[in-house]
Structure 1
Amino acid sequence: MYNYFTRISLFYILFLLTANVFSQKNLIINTENREHISLNGQWHYLIDPYENGFYDYRWQERNENDPEAYWNKPVITDPSQRREHQYKNAPTLKVPGDWNSQDSIFTYYEGTVWYQRNFDLPEISEDKHYYLYFGAVNYEAHVYLNGKKLGSHKGGFTPFDFEIPKEILKKNDNFLVVKVDNKRHPEEIPTVNTDWWNYGGITRDVKLLVLPENFISQYSLQLDKDQDILKAISSKKFTVNGYLKLNNSAAGEVSLEIPELNFRKKLHPEADSVHFSFQLKNLKLWSPENPKLYKVKLKLDDSVLEDKIGFRKIETSGDDILLNGKKIFLRGISIHEEIPQESRRANSKADAEQLFGWAQQLNANMVRLAHYPHNEYMTRTADSLGMLVWSEIPVYWTIDFKNEEVLKKAKKQLKEMIIRDRNKASVIIWSVGNETPVSPSRTAFMKELIETGKEMDGSRLMAAALEVNYNEGVNYIDDPLGKYTDIIAVNEYLGWYGGLPDAAQSAKWKTAYDKPLFFSETGAGAKAGFHADKRTRWSEEYQQWYFEETIDMMKRMPDNYTGMSPWILADFRSPRRNHPVYQEGWNRKGLISNEGEKKLAFYILQEYYKEMEEKYDK
C-alpha cells in the first residue's frame, strides 16, 4: 500500500475519491455539438458471472495493480507466467447496443460483462480537458483507463462522464475497460420486479470529449414560467430565463447569440454559474403544428457551442392543460425504447425516426416515454417533429420507499434526466414514477421527488402514473400523491384485468382534485394475426373491441379529461409474459406487432385521434 501511495500524486488520489461525485455535479450536456471522438463500434468482451475479474477468491476487491484484475492489460513476458484473462482474442459486441440481442448466449443473462477497446489520440494538448462520456450503461458501470479507475455510475438510462487526468492519458494505445453489471437488486432504481426486458450492456453512445481549458458544461434557456403568455404573444415581447454553468469559476465573459432574432447578450458570471433573464421580440413559439427551433450560439473565449432550442409555455389552468395559452388535448401513445422487429434496445436516430413515424401515422401529438428516460435521439427527434413528450424515471412498483439511500438514487436519476433534456421544448412532463402502491412512506418519497423536479425545472408539469381502484358505479381517483402533481394521470385497464370491455359502458369517473385528468395507460393484449370472435382473448378482435369501448367511455369523461397515452405502440419483450402460444416472452398490448404489423386496434385509435385533432383545430 505504501508503494502505491508514493507512486501517484496527492492530486490524483483526491481525483479518484471525488471522480463520481464531480462528474454528476458537472454533467456535460449537448455532447453531440462539442469536439469529440466517437468510441462506438466493436468492443471486446469477457463474460464474468462470478465477478472473478473484480474480486479475489476471498471476495475482496482486487488491488489496482493485480495482474488478474480484468481492468489491467495482461502482459506476458515469459511463457511460464499465468494469466487467466485477455482481450486480444476475445469476441466482440457492438456499442451502442444491448448484449441480449447480439448473441443467444446472452438472451437471459443478468450479471457482469467486461467491455474493452483501445483508442488513439491525434495529440494531447495541455490546454484541453478530456472526458469519457457515456449516454447510458445498464445498470452499474465501473470505468478504467490504462489500469486506473475513473469512477463508477449507477442508473441504466441516464448519462454520465468522467474527466481523464492527463497523467494517465496516452497518445496511442489507450486501454479502456468498462465493467457492466445489469443484475437487479431490491435497493436499486428500478428494483427487482419490472414488466420489461432487462437489456444489459453499453446501450448508448460513448464519446471522448475534447474540451477547451474553459467551457460551458450546462445551460438552459426557457420562457419565464410566470409571464402571462397571451399578453406576451399580443405584445410580441417574451421574457426568457437562462442559466449557465462553467467548469471554471474564473472562465470569463460568455456571449449569447440567437442570430435569427438579431439578439446578442454578454454574460459575466461571478462564479462558476449564473442565472439571468432577457427579452426577445417577435418570437415564434414552438408547438406541434409549428416546431420552431432557433439556433443558439454560446461563445466562451475562442470556442463556440451551438444548439437548437424551441420556446413554448406549458401550464395548467383548472381542468385544462394549456400550451402557449391554448387548451390542448394530448393524443398520446406510450413507447418502450425498443425496436420490436429486432428484439433490441433502440439507440440511434434511425430508431427514433421509426418509432415516431409510427406515432405520427397514429395521428398522435404526444408520446409517453416509459418507464425510464429514453436515449437523446428520441427527445431531439421529438423537438424537430413537434411531438410532445412525457419523460419518466424508473421508480416502478416495488421500490423500497422507506430507504433513504434509494431516495438518493431516485433523485440522482431525476436530476440527470432533467439536466440532459431541459432545453428540449418537446418535453412537457417530468414523471417521477409508475403504479406505486399507496402508503405514507411512498407518498413522502414521491413528494420529495416532485419538489426536487420543480426546484430544478419549474417550467414543466410534474406527474406520476397512478393506479385506480375499480368500484361499482364510480371510479374515484383520490391517491394522496395527486395533491402534489400538476395533473392527475392514471393507468386503467377496465375490460382487460377486470371484466370484459363492455364494462366500460357503465363506468363513471371522478377525481378528488381540480386538475386535468390524463389516462397514462389503457390497453389489451392481442397476438397479431390471431383472429376470432371479439370475446376471445388474445384475438385482434378482442383488442379492437376493447379500444372501441374505451374510446366511447373517454367521450363520456368529465370536463377535466385532457388526453390519453394508451399502452402501447408496439409489442415489447418481457420475462413476465410466458404464455407459450400468445405471448412467448412478449407483452402483446402493442398496437403494432413485433414484426411491425399494425393490428386492428391501431386503426380504431387512429380514427379517434383524427376526430380529436379536428375538434381542437376548430
Structure 2
Amino acid sequence: MNYKNLWVAFLILPLLVFVGKANAQDVYVQNAYARDLISLDGHWNRIIDPYENGYYNHRYLPHEDGYFKNAQVKNKSELLEYNFSTSDKLHVPGDWNTQESQLFLYEGTVWYHKDFSLNKKVGYRYLVHFGAVNYQAIVYVNGVKVGDHEGGFTSFQFDISDKLVNGKNFVVVKVDNRRERNQVPTVNTDWWNYGGITRPVAILELPGTYVADYSVQLDNANSKMINASVTLAGNLKAKHGDLLLSIPELNIKQKMQISADGQAKLTLAASPQLWSPEHPKLYDVEINFNGEVVRDRIGFRTVAVKGENIELNGKSVFLRGISIHEEAPFNGGGRAWSEDDARTLLRWAKDLGCNFVRLAHYPHNETMLKIADEMGLLVWSEIPVYWTVMFEDKAVYAKAEKQLTEMITRDKNRASIILWSVANETPVKQERLNFLSGLINKTRELDGTRLVTAAMDTQTTTKDGKVIDDPLASVVDVIGINSYCGWYYEVPENCASQKWASKYNKPLIMSEVGADALQGKLGDKTERWTEEYQAEVFRQNIAMMENISALRGVSPWILKDFRSPRRSLPDIQDFYNRKGLVSEAGVRKQAWYVLRDYYKKKESSAE
C-alpha cells in the first residue's frame, strides 16, 4: 500500500473529517449547535476588496500586515488605508449579493470583521465553527491565521484556543467567491453564485477532553440492532469518567469502553419504532462524558435496493419528490439558511404530496436536514460535481472527495437521507467514470447504510425511444435520469409516447423533468413560457413516466423559481430559472396542481 492509500485508510476508518494535521484535537465536532457556544451571528463590518489589496502588496506578494491585522491609527501622521470600524456592515449569516445592490453580481474578495468578548475557562478548548462560506475562506483570530477552507457548502472548524485572550477579541475572514475552472463546482453553473458567510458562525466552548464525532444508527442488515460509535478529542491523556449512551424511550443507558485513541464502539439490541415518511419517529439520544451532555434527535430506519425496488424498512417505496435549491422562499431570493426558510420550503413539498426531496446541487444547511427528519421527508443529498468539472485533474478529485467526506461526516445521523449523490449531468468519458467511481467507492467506505446515485442526462436515442446505457449506471445503486422532453427536445404532445429501456436491473428515479413558465403569463398550451405550456409538459411527461417499469421515484425540476445568471431573457426570466412550480413570490403555478394530483393517485395506489 502506498502512502496515499495509507492516509485514505486512516481517514476512512473512524468516519472523521480533519481540519488540519491528523491528531485527536483536530477531529470534526459533530452537531456543533448542540454544544455550549458563543454565537457570532449578527452584523459584521465588511470591506470590498476586488484587487485583494488587503492581502497582496503591489508586487503581488502577501502582506505581513494585511487587513487581517485589523490595525488602528495610532497618531495623526500614520497612513492606514482601511478601517473596519467605520466600514459598512453585512449580516451573517447571509449572502452579500442580496444585501447590497452594488454586490448583486460581484465575484471577488470581501473581508469580514467581528469583535467579540470571551472569558476563557481554564482547561477548555475553543473552536470557531462556520456553517459555510462561499467559496474560499481564510480565517484570522486576533490578527493570526488559524486556517483556510475551500468549498461553499460544507461546514468547517478551527481550534483557536491558543489565539484567544480574556476580554476583547476579533475575527477576520477573507471570503472569495470567484469562480475558477479547477473548483468544485466549476465556472459554469445554473444557479446564483451567492458569496459570503452564508451560514451561522459560532465559537464552541468544549471541555479539555470532549465528545467530538459520533454515529448512532440502525444496523442496515438487522433492524433489531443499533450500532453506536463515539470519538473523543482534546487531551486524551487526562483522567476522565464514564462515557454513557442513553436513549431513554428505549430504556437504553449503556457505558461505552474508551480505547487509548479516544474511540468507543457499541452494538445494542433494541426494537425502535422505525422512522418513515408516514411515521417520522425520532428518539432523544444523549451522549454523556465528564459532565458534558450532547443531545440529538435520531430516527432509525433501513434502506436497500432489491432488483428494481427501493426498500425502506423492508418495504418497496415510491419516491414522490421535488428538487429544491437552497434559496430563500421569499423576498427576492438569497441563500436560505434559517429554520423558517427550511420549514417553508419543506412544507411546500409536503403540501405538494411529497415524501421525498432532492436537495440540489450541493449539501444544504444542517437545519434543512433536521427539519426533514422531523417532517418525514426522504432526502437525496448531493455534492456539486456538476457539468464540466475537470475530471482529469487529481487535485480537483481531491476537492470533490473532501466535500463528499465533509457532507457525510456532518449528516450521517440524519434518518431522512437515503441517497448520497456524487454528480449531476456529467459527460460520458473514461476520465469522468474513473473520477465518479472513486467518489462512489469513497461514499461506500464512509457510509455503508445508504444508497449511492448520480443524475445522468446521457441516454441514447434510438428509433424505439431512449435507452439508458451510461456506464455510470453500472456503478450506482439507483439510477438518476434528467429528461426535458417538451422543453429542450420534442414538443409536449410527443412525450407521452416516448419509450424507455434500461440495460441495468436497477431502480430509476426521474431526477429532473419540467419546463419554464412565468407565473401569471397565461395562454395556449402550445405557447412557451405560459403556465398552460408548463402544465401540459407535466401531463405528458407523467404519462411517459408511468410506462417506465423501473421507475421508483420522481423529483421534478423544481419547487421554486430561483436566480440564475444564465437566464437573462427580459420580462420573462430576468435572471430567474422559471422552472419552479412556485414563483419567487410564493405563488403556485398550474403545474403545481398537475403534479399534486399525480402524487395523490400514487399515494392512494400504494395504500
TM-score range, shorter chain: over 0.9
Q: Output the CA distance in 1 between the equivalents of 2:573 and 2:350.
A: 27
Contact 2:582 2:588 in 1 (8 A): yes
Q: Which amino acid aligns with 1:324?
A: N
Q: Which residue of 2 aligns with 1:91?
A: 88
The AA in structure 1 aligned to 2:28 is L
5+ residue gaps, structure 2, are 1-17
1:337-388 CA-to-partner distances (Å, cap 9, x unmatched) read: 0024322110100000010111011000000000000001100100000110
Matched residue, 1:13: none
**Matching residue's letter, 2:106:** Y
Shift of 1:157: 0.2
Q: Find the counterpart in structure 1 of residue 52 from structure 2.
A: 51
Aligned to 2:183: 188
- Structure 1 residue 274, shift from structure 2 partner: 3.2
Q: What's the offset of the Cα at 1:272?
A: 3.0
Q: Deviations over 1:501-528 (max 9, x none)?
A: 1121221111111110111100100000
Partner of 1:541: 532
1:79 counterpart (76, 81, 84): 76
The aligned amino acid for 2:542 is: I
SS in 2 for 1:412: helix
Give the SS at the match of 1:432.
Answer: strand
Name which of structure 1's ranges 276-285 and 384-393 shifts more when overlaid on structure 2.
Answer: 276-285
Match of 2:356 among 346, 366, 383: 366
SS at match of 2:204: strand
Q: 1:105 aligns with which of 99, 102, 105?
A: 102
> Does the 8 A contact of 2:391 with 2:435 survive in 1?
yes
Q: 1:215 aligns to what SS in structure 2?
A: strand
The C-alpha deviation readout for 1:522-577, integer Å capped at 9, x for no partner, is: 0100000000110000000000000010111112221x210110000000000000
Of 338, 351, 354, which aligns to 2:344?
Answer: 354
The equivalent of 1:477 in structure 2 is 468
Where does residue 305 of structure 2 map in the other structure? Answer: 316
Q: Which SS does the other structure have where 1:568 is aligned?
A: coil
SS of residue in 2 equivalent to 1:352:
helix
Q: Provide the residue aligned with 1:208 in structure 2.
A: 203
Separation (CA, whole Å) in 1 of partners of 2:69 and 2:302:
51
Query: Does residue 280 of structure 1 match 2:280?
Result: no
Deviations 1:266-312 (A, max 9, x none): 11121335363423333101000111111111111121111111000
In the aligned structure 1, how far is the partner of 2:264 from the partner of 2:467? 43
Counterpart amino acid of 1:520? S
Letter of the 2:73 partner, please give it.
I
What are the residue-to-residue correspondences of 1:360-399 with 2, within 5 Å?
Answer: 360-399=350-389
TM-superposed deviation, 1:492: 0.5
Do 2:427 and 2:458's aligned partners in 1 also have CA atoms closer than 8 Å? Answer: no
* Corresponding position of 1:302: 291
* 2:225–2:271 contact (8 Å) kept in structure 1: no
1:422 paired with 2:417, answer no
Structure-1 residue corresponding to 2:505: 514
Q: Tell me by how many angstroms 1:172 deviates.
A: 2.1
Whole-angstrom distance in 2 between the partners of 1:482 and 1:254:
44
Whole-angstrom distance in 2 between the partners of 1:386 and 1:613: 15
Q: For residues 500 and 266 of structure 2, what CA distance do their matches in structure 1 show? A: 43
TM-superposition CA deviations, 1:123-162 (whole Å, max 9, x none): 2112100010000000000000111000000000000000
- Report the alpha carbon displacement of residue 190 of structure 1 after superposing the two structures with TM: 0.4
Contact 1:286 1:292 in 2 (8 A): yes
Other-structure match for 2:138: 142
* Contact 2:455–2:480 (Cα < 8 Å) also in 1: yes
CA contact (8 A) 1:19 1:150 kept: no
SS of the residue corresponding to residue 78 of structure 2 reads coil
Which residue identity lines up with residue 532 of structure 1 in the other structure?
A: G
- Output the CA distance in 2 between the equivalents of 1:497 and 1:260: 52
Does 2:395 align with 1:405? yes
Whether the aligned pair in 2 keeps the contact of 1:468 and 1:492 (CA below 8 Å) is no
Residue 147 of structure 2 corresponds to residue 151 of structure 1: yes
CA–CA distance in structure 1, aligned partners of residues 581 and 449 of structure 2: 32
Distance in 2 of aligned mates of 1:408 and 1:414: 10
Q: Distance in 2 between matches of 1:244 and 1:583?
A: 49
Q: Contact 2:209–2:232 (CA<8 Å) still a contact in 1? A: yes
- In structure 2, what residue type is equivalent to 1:50? Y
CA distance in 2, matches of 1:129, 1:340: 38
Aligned to 1:264: 253
Among 483, 489, 495, which residue is 2:486 paired with? 495
- Deviation string, structure 1 residues 52-86 (Cα, Å, up to 9, x no partner): 001111101112xx2xx100122222111100111
What is the CA–CA distance in structure 2 between the aligned matches of 1:42 and 1:87, rounded to whole Å? 12
Query: Within 2, Cα distance between the matches of 1:567 and 1:293?
Result: 30
Q: 1:464 maps to what in 2?
A: 454
Given the superposition, is the C-alpha separation of residues 250 and 261 from structure 1 closer, same or farther in structure 2, using an over 3 Å criterion?
farther
Q: Give the Cα separation in 1 of the matches to 2:560 and 2:425.
A: 20
Give the whole-Å Cα distance in 1 for the aligned partners of 2:142 and 2:539: 60
User: Are 1:245 and 2:231 an aligned pair?
Assistant: yes
Paired residue secondary structure (1:423) = coil
Question: In the alignment, what sits opposite 2:120?
Answer: 124
Equivalenced residue count is 584
Q: Per-residue CA shift, 1:570-615, capped at 9, x if unaligned?
A: 0000000011121110000000011111000000000000111111
C-alpha distance in 1, partners of 2:542/2:312? Answer: 24
Question: Which amino acid is 2:386 matched to?
Answer: Y
User: Deviation per CA, 1:455-487, whole angstroms, max 9, x where unpaired?
Assistant: 000100001101133433221011111111001
Contact 1:527–1:588 (Cα < 8 Å) also in 2: yes
SS of residue paired to 2:439 = helix
Q: Counterpart in 2 of 1:169?
A: 164
- Matching residue of 1:36: 37
| Secondary structure in 2 matching 1:528 | coil
2:496 aligns to what SS in structure 1? helix
2:595 pairs with one of 581, 591, 605: 605
1:455 lines up with 2:445 in the alignment? yes
Per the alignment, residue 11 of structure 2 pairs with none
Report how far residue 225 of structure 1 moved. Answer: 2.0
Residues in 1 aligned to 2:145 and 2:271: alpha-carbon distance in whole angstroms: 51
1:160 aligned onto 2:124? no
User: Quick check: 1:331 aligned with 2:331?
Assistant: no
Q: CA deviation at 1:19?
A: 6.1
Partner of 2:573: 583
Q: Does structure 2 retain, via aligned residues, the 8 Å contact 1:493–1:524?
A: yes
Which whole-Å deviations, capped at 9, do the CAs of 1:222-271 have from their partners, x for residues lacking one?
Answer: 111233x5xxxxxxxx1122221111444654111111111122111213
| 3-state SS of 2:505 partner | coil
CA distance in 2, matches of 1:389, 1:512: 26
Supply the AA of the counterpart residue of 1:613.
E
Whichever residue aligns with residue 26 of structure 1, its letter is V
% identical equivalent positions:
48
Q: Note closer, same or farther for the CA distance 1:439–1:318 as it changes in structure 2 (3 Å cut).
A: same
2:561 corresponds to: 571
Aligned partner of 1:12 in structure 2 is none
Contact 1:572–1:590 at 8 Å: present in 2 too? yes
**Aligned match of 1:551 in 530, 542, 556?**
542
Normalized against structure 1, the TM-score is what?
0.93
2:330 aligned counterpart, secondary structure: helix
Quote the Cα distance in structure 2 between the aligned partners of 1:22 and 1:581. Answer: 54
Provide the TM-score with structure 2 as the length reference. 0.94
Partner of 2:6: none
Q: Which residue of 2 aligns with 1:218?
A: 213
Instruction: Give the residue type in structure 2 aligned to 1:170.
Output: V
- The amino acid across from 1:330 in the alignment is L
